[in-house]
Each structure stands twice: as C-alpha cells, then as structure tokens.
Structure 1
Amino acid sequence: MSAMRVLIASTVDTPAPCRRPGAARLRQARIAAGFETAEQAAGACGWDAAAYAVHEAGAASFDWRRAKVYASAFRVRTEWLYAGAGPASDPGFAPVIGRVGADPSGALLFATGQSPGELAPLPPGATDRAVALRVAGESMRGLADDGALIYFEDQRTPPTPDMLGHVVVVETDGDEVLVKRLLRGSRPGLYDLESLDAPARSDVRLRWAAHITAIIPPFQARRILVSAA
C-alpha cells in the first residue's frame, strides 16, 4: 500500500513536459511557407532534420541566432518567431509618388520626383498597384490635413459612374493630378471638379480617375513613413 501511495504521488507531482511557445509559431511559419512536413523543410533548407524536428516539437528551445535562420527561410519576422512580438510578417509598402496640396497662389498641385523618396505601409485591401500622395498645405482641411497620406490604386482607367459625387484622384489632360469631388459635366466625356475651398472647375477632360482607398491622418502618417533608401 505504501508503495502504491508513493507511485500515485510521483505521478501526480511530476509535471508533463512543457512545449516551448516558439514551437507553435515555428510550425505555423513552416506550413505557411509551403513545407508540408518538418523533414521536407529541413531538407530544402539544408538543416539537420533531427535538430529542426526537436525545435518544432518544442522539446528544446532555439536561440536568437537560430530564430533568424528559420525566419529568413520561412519569410517571417525574427521578433515574432522568437518571442511572439508584433506581426508575423512585415506589411507590404506603397510608394509615396508625390505631394498634393496648395501653392502660394492657392492652386492645387501635384509634384513627383524621379523616384519615390518615401514608402508607406499598404492599407487594408490594397493591391500591388497601391500608391500614396502626401498632403501639403491646408487646401483639403477636414478631409486630409497637412501631412496626411491619401492612398489610391494606380490603375489609370477612365472615370466610372460609381465615382460620381465622391472625392477621387484624377489626372486632367493638362497633366494635373488633383484630389477633387467628381461631378457630371455638361456633356459625355467632360466632368466638373469640385474643391473644398476653391471654385469648381467645369467641363474638364480627364485621362483617368481612381477611388481613394484610405486617408491616414498626419500624426499617424509621420509614424509609418519610411525612406525608400
């Protein structure tokens, strides 16, 4: 009876092996990268299969250096893989292709350099055609203040009926890229462009128009912009 009590106590008091928390993220990353098994991943990446299997099973921890190796192979962030910090992967980025705003005379401008100097994270639902404009000045106060980011899809297609009545990004046949409310003109192919604080422009011929997909306020825009370099 005494031996039985000792056996029961030993069974109850001995904790089960603890699976390392990074193991689940490692398995998740491996599957997302397209490797069906741990052995397949190890073989493709030139790792010791037994050592990798131990890490993914959670029987042993992997250090920061090894986490960097795994993260690079599976295209995830090392911080996430090692410690669960932040998102699993970096967001895609959109180029900031120019500035839209007001010059000293009050006219809206669009300016762009030879190549994007800044990048901004893609907003939800964006595609690889997403681009952004940075607002300069107060010509769109209330819609997009000085320093805000305006995103749109750079598809270069003609205006569509669902754009009428909405603020969109347009390019005129005079090479101006503007942010305006799009209204129907006096005849097909012509449009009126309504501003927030300037006279409307009537019967303008447009090369293309694009829906605005996101507007990021100035404070947040300053935090998320990165140099294209």
Structure 2
Amino acid sequence: MKISHRLGVAVAILIGEEEEPDPVPVVGRIGAGGSIDTSTEQFDVANPLYVIEPPFALPADALALEIHGESMWPRYDHGDVIIVSMHGSDIKSIIGFEAAVATEDGKRYLKRVIEGSRRGLFNLESHNAPAMRDVKVTWVSEVITVVRASQVKRIKDHARRSIQRQVRAAL
C-alpha cells in the first residue's frame, strides 16, 4: 500500500492482477473555435508532441489531440485532451454527434457534424461559434473519451523508466 501510494500506481497493477494502461501519444492540437496553425504538426504517432497516461486501457489505435479554443465550452475546455481513433469512423455514424474532423485544407476541429447542402459536404457546429457550412471532411473520428486538462498526466521517457525501476526495486 505504501509503495502504491508513493508511486501513484494501483496495487492491482503492482501485483500483476491488472495491467497498466498503455501511454497514448498526443499527436497534435485540435481547434474548438477558430482555426489553429497545424502546419508544424505532422500527426505522427512516432514523434508526438507529448505522451499522456490514460485513466484506463484504450483501443490499440487510440491517439490524442489537445483542445485549443473555447467554442465548445462548457463541454470542453482549452487544454483538455480528447482520445480518438487513428483510423477514424464512418462519417454516417457521426452525423449529429461531436467528433474530431480534418478538413480538406488540413485543419482539425472538434465540432458537431451535420449533413451539408450537397452530398459529400458537411456543416460543422460549435456551442459558441458560427457554424462552418458545406465543408469537405477528409477524416472524422468519434471521441472515445476526454481527459480533462487538470487530469492530464504527461509522461516523459525518463520518468517512466524511473517509475519502472522503483517498482522493480520495491518488489
């Protein structure tokens, strides 16, 4: 119990009854409001902005995006991290729901997806910003879960190795 408390790791994980969730790469930022500059982000899982420790196990293709902006407030806050599927979702299953979307011009948004005026075009809605009308969407993914900004635990490689050494030494 002392080791568990000191390391902030569940006893079940320490004794091998439960697996620690795999870290999730935060591969970029997503706009919840105005446009953000994504030109320096490659959406590259191998070279993430940083890595977070999720509160529970997630699908193998999970990746994370950090929210920037406040047009989806009060549902999402600036700095929250959403977990999505790298492979995306069928857009027809997303109609009427909030999702991570990438547009034809390479920008990423967190928006409610609504059918547009023509086939292949969609309206992207926010809580507190004007809707984006008749946008071509190139990728969409449902939001699997949200990690609140205050709960985001960034993991550095050296910190992870240090924790693993401490656990092995304590056992």
What TM-score results when the alignment is normalised by the length of structure 2? 0.71
Shift of 1:208: 1.4
**Whole-angstrom distance in 1 between the partners of 2:145 and 2:70:** 18
Shift of 1:101: 3.5
Larger Rg: 1
Counterpart code for 1:163: I
**141 and 128 in structure 1: CA distance in 2 versus 1, 3 angstrom threshold:** same
1:50 matched to which residue of 2? none
Q: Kindly indicate whether the alpha-carbon contact (under 8 Å) linking 1:180 and 1:193 is maintained by their aligned counterparts in 2.
A: yes
Q: List runs of 5+ in structure 1 lacking aligned partners.
A: 1-76
**Residues 1:91 and 2:21 aligned together:** yes
Q: If each structure's helix is expressed as a fraction of its own residues, which one has the higher value?
A: 1
* SS in structure 1 at match of 2:36: strand
Q: Kindly indicate whether the alpha-carbon contact (under 8 Å) linking 1:163 and 1:211 is maintained by their aligned counterparts in 2.
A: yes
Counterpart code for 1:171: A
2:162 matched to which residue of 1? none
What TM-score results when the alignment is normalised by the length of structure 1? 0.54
1:109 matched to which residue of 2? 36
Write out aligned runs for 1:2-17 (5 A): none
**Whole-angstrom distance in 2 between the partners of 1:125 and 1:90:** 8
1:15 matched to which residue of 2? none
Q: If each structure's strand is expressed as a fraction of its own residues, which one has the higher value?
A: 2
Shift of 1:158: 5.0
Q: Kindly indicate whether the alpha-carbon contact (under 8 Å) linking 1:95 and 1:132 is maintained by their aligned counterparts in 2.
A: yes
**110 and 91 in structure 1: CA distance in 2 versus 1, 3 angstrom threshold:** farther
2:134 matched to which residue of 1? 203
**Whole-angstrom distance in 1 between the partners of 2:157 and 2:50:** 5
2:76 to 137, 144, 149: 144
The percentage of aligned residue pairs carrying the same residue is 29
Q: Kindly indicate whether the alpha-carbon contact (under 8 Å) linking 1:94 and 1:130 is maintained by their aligned counterparts in 2.
A: yes
Write out aligned runs for 1:119-198 (5 A): 119-122=51-54, 124=56, 126-156=58-88, 158-159=90-91, 161-198=92-129
1:227 to 146, 153, 156: 156
What count of residue pairs does the alignment treat as equivalent?
142
Shift of 1:110: 5.6
**200 and 91 in structure 1: CA distance in 2 versus 1, 3 angstrom threshold:** same
Q: Aligned-pair RMSD on alpha carbons?
A: 2.6
Q: Kindly indicate whether the alpha-carbon contact (under 8 Å) linking 1:168 and 1:179 is maintained by their aligned counterparts in 2.
A: yes
**Whole-angstrom distance in 2 between the partners of 1:178 and 1:101:** 4
* SS in structure 2 at match of 1:108: coil
Which of the pair has the greater relative contact order for Cα pairs under 8 Å at 6+ separation? 2
